Structure 1
């Protein structure tokens, strides 16, 4: 089953081409009532990449989530070829469902170049093998939870996460706004760097805005909390593989006005900084 889930995710990111600049994608149910934001990011990147010369790789992605996506309807991706320069190419992508945009994004691509290099050091954390894997809830406990949580916790995922500082998200305690999580695909995939960038875009939306909830003793599972991603930024720095362990290091510098800001750095196991992220999300306490 593990390989099937990974294959399903890979297929999800391989869009159907309708016209030169028009693509169609389907959705995967990850236990939410709406389309997962990381899926739309990965598909938008996949659509834009298909309009760019193969020698140019994505180096930055900036997107706004405009509406919740309908998980039962296809998503059409319209790509605008904004500019093709000598070194960089720029694309604008609009994801559309039921005639309305659900995401606006801009993606920049660059030919491979040599230049100055530096990076921050990877945090000193236990190796993923030294962290106990997350265990699924027993069926009898799962059955006692609200439907929203049963859907989320009962779905088999193609990505494995190992938290350096595990937390009971059903009964969270207050803690500082930072965390470290190892993650990887649960089965190997082909070598294509284009595929691995799309897979990382998908995975980068997990746990990011949740970091802004840590000081407040709440989580996505809290019954009277409404959470949603508002925007997402992703920068690719160095080559990587998503079917090998990557460390996602998060921090949240601020939360205010029903919004929280979170930042992330993604490291390969040998300490290379391969990508950076930032996201603002809605965190609203409802009566």
Structure 2
């Protein structure tokens, strides 16, 4: 969700998020990251995924951007202690570079990521069409819509420095009106403020943001909210097709093809406002009533 209005609780600033993604290098292939103060009781999944990708990217030449990542959330992260990221240099080929990153706390792995980097090449071109949606300027922010619904916003809401403008109903609205329920979830997003011209940073911020609304897509299809479902990300995969900027509007078009056995699957396609497909996402989560 978006930043909270003044006086409604703590929020993480964009400057703090950028600082959190700027890992400390403590050895050639070992990095250390921290969590924001006053945050949730466990580390946000997008944070550890973004930090792991930062660690991997800092061991790869700049002319080889990341094109895919596959990750597993193994244990809940403890936000009160640092996370150590150990990078394994699996392969350095002529056109592909592969890295494996393990995030460790209290002597145990809490997260594992494999990432592939590829130098730019020409090839076949096609893409799925972008959904026809209103532009972000015509939509209220998530903060504005929640403020209309609640006199006091829940203290448990974990606010991020990512501006969200949902196209359709919020999950709290689908919980009270079955006619609003859908297996689709369309959200415009961008960072609150402009970012430096660092391609890896923009990719890592999209990795962070990609975990914010995916599982909500599953529960809203059933008229549920995060207050009555115990949710946890299990695995996460992303493919990066084209360079993009996380500080410019991106449409996150999400859907959920299946939920069963306490598992829910969600997918997302990320478009620039000009209609270019720049990223694809798939995540499975644990969903317990």
TM-score normalized by the length of structure 1? 0.91
What does residue 238 of structure 1 align with? 242
Question: Which of 153, 157, 162 is the equivalent residue of 1:159?
Answer: 162
- How far 1:245 sits from its partner (Å)? 0.4
- How far 1:271 sits from its partner (Å)? 0.3
SS at match of 1:141: coil
What does residue 268 of structure 2 align with? 264
- How far 1:198 sits from its partner (Å)? 0.7
SS at match of 1:53: coil
Which consecutive residues of structure 2, in runs of 5 or more, have no partner in the other structure?
A: 5-11
Report if the CA contact (8 A) 2:171-2:225 is conserved: no
**Change beyond 3 A, Cα 1:40–1:33:** same
Q: Deviations over 1:62-97 (max 9, x none)?
A: 000001101111000000000011100000100001
| Count of residues paired in the alignment | 275
Determine the C-alpha separation between the residues in 1 that align with 2:38 and 2:280.
24
**Change beyond 3 A, Cα 1:271–1:171:** closer
What RMSD, in angstroms, separates the aligned Cα atoms of the two structures?
2.0
**Change beyond 3 A, Cα 1:56–1:32:** same
TM-score normalized by the length of structure 2? 0.90
Report if the CA contact (8 A) 1:267-1:274 is conserved: yes
- How far 1:237 sits from its partner (Å)? 0.4
Report if the CA contact (8 A) 1:258-1:283 is conserved: yes
What does residue 210 of structure 1 align with? 216
Report if the CA contact (8 A) 1:30-1:36 is conserved: no
Which consecutive residues of structure 1, in runs of 5 or more, have no partner in the other structure?
A: 144-148
Structure 1 consecutive aligned stretches of length 4 or more whose deviation exceeds 4 Å: none
Q: Deviations over 1:223-274 (max 9, x none)?
A: xx21010000011001110101000000100000000000000000100000
SS at match of 1:229: strand
